[in-house]
Structure 1
Amino acid sequence: MKGNTIDEIKEVLLNRFGFIPVFYFLTVLYGNVEYPGPYREIEKELVLLYHMVSGESGKDMHKVMPYATFYDLYKRFWITNYSESNKKVKQDLNGMFSSPHIRILASLINNPDGLKNVTLFIDGHDSKIKYYKPSESHSLLYSYKLKGPAVRTQVIQDMNEIITHVSISEKCVVGNDGTMFIQMKLYKKISEADCLGMDGGYNLFIQKFKDNATDAGYGFYNRNFLHPIRKEPGQKLTLNETHFYNKFGSFHSSTEAQFSMLGSKFERFNNNRAALQISDIKYYNI
């Protein structure tokens, strides 16, 4: 590597993550195969992780290695290995850190009174991008939340703030919360003992979810979902309903802190920075 850049990279990764996440990336996600480039394999692994952490472009990696070499490494890891890596990440998110028993116990301990039954939250997250695909309309990417082009991803988080499931990412105009919620087929992934908290954008799709689950041989009922009280326009909430609405809203807003934390760890996915340049949403999604 050029100069002492690998030592600087190691220091950045150690300060951001500690040892265990880096070890997982090196031994599980990177794998035990040889990647392009005339460098030590472990150093190439660290450069790939640093690229996500720093938010620097591929061309900025010239301070470490020639851009052509870095791109070959990047392409092999993210694009050639896409199917295998995507499958592994989904499997580990689902099973490594969370289970129905853990979620129920955590909810009983940590949730406020009246919301002890909620074990999971679903929320949509918009991410700024610069999208380079001339054959597709950029108007479909517009996010009203970010006032610019972005993709939307549905994220499931448990009461220990562990992300357990992530949807595919969609263009913001195309991917509304309810439709993406149905497309995730969560009835195959969560337990019938779970209760999924959600905001008002999802509850109109709950019946469709239950029908699809029944057709697939699963039993989900209204008790498996909790959302803000919905009334017809002009109808006022009662005092108790207002109290529940405010309490639930405050509880649900805690999920936003997770996105802020991830953005602080991975500058590549931080909406406060210049938008990430991509040519295919699926590689961003993984």
Structure 2
Amino acid sequence: MTATARRRARICRDRYLSGFGGDLDITVVGHIARDVVLGIDAVPGPRGSTEVRERRELLGGKGANQAVACAQLGASVALLGVVGDDEVGTRLLAQARADRVDVACAVRRPGARTALIVNVVEAGGDWRYFEDLAGADLTAADIENARGTLLAATSVLVQLQQPAARVAATLAHAAGRRVVLDGVPPADDRADLLAAADVLRADAHEGGLITGVELTTVEAATGAARELLREGPSLVALGVDGEGDVVAWSDGEVFLPFSGDPVADTTGAGDAFTAAFTVTLTVTLTRGGSPEEAARAAAAAAGSTVRRLGGRPALGP
């Protein structure tokens, strides 16, 4: 471990051992990336070209998008992710701090380049991702070194594209934290992850991969969610392809249809949904409320995000 890594681990450890458990609302475990968004009229054919009508360069990656959304909604939030030891990584961490996201325990990976996501969005809203995420994943050791920040939070939101997701989820669960999983549990870790989860969120495609059921109707998604509740989570939110979202819990369920408003880019809608759901469960429902209230707040956040290009949220007052 480098001197910098040792210092970060000490900060995170001391934060927890000094009695600050619970000083954070949410810790997000996920990717940090430079996000380049290009708005075009249509993708050209081979050897063709087209004019870029809108260009945005942002702090991105699912983890960063979710953390920024949580902060915009008023939660205190920390982000555990990886950037390279390059200038881009420095800029992204500075932007996260400007967005009121605690990145004291984010990993600066020596010799790695910071992740890049290029999102090309056509006029009709269809998008294509080009991802360079090599070196952007947290390791089990990274999670252990950040134990203090992980366990200082009331809720831990884990992006399941991270190979160390099981380590983060089981550590948080053992400490009595609320565990929110986003995405598809890897087959080898499925049982452990779902047993550790309080909340599971997946879009329609991801939900189909988890359940083996095509989530094209409300009935199919509701049935799939109820099956997943039997595996551990107390709340399950699944997308219904082209229709909306189903949220189910032990004694209730709600379907939240898409609003039908014009859509510029669906990128980031799921991140906004998951973040708002987690914030409402963590902050609002502790003062009374229902899972349906959290579900409706999540759907509103997702609906707001699709009105602009890119995955960066613009939530809150």
TM-score scaled to structure 2, two decimals?
0.26
- Computing the radius of gyration over CA atoms, which structure comes out larger, 1 or 2? 1
Structure with the larger strand share: 2
**What is the TM-score when the length of structure 1 is the normalising length?**
0.28
Q: Indicate the structure with greater helix content.
A: 1
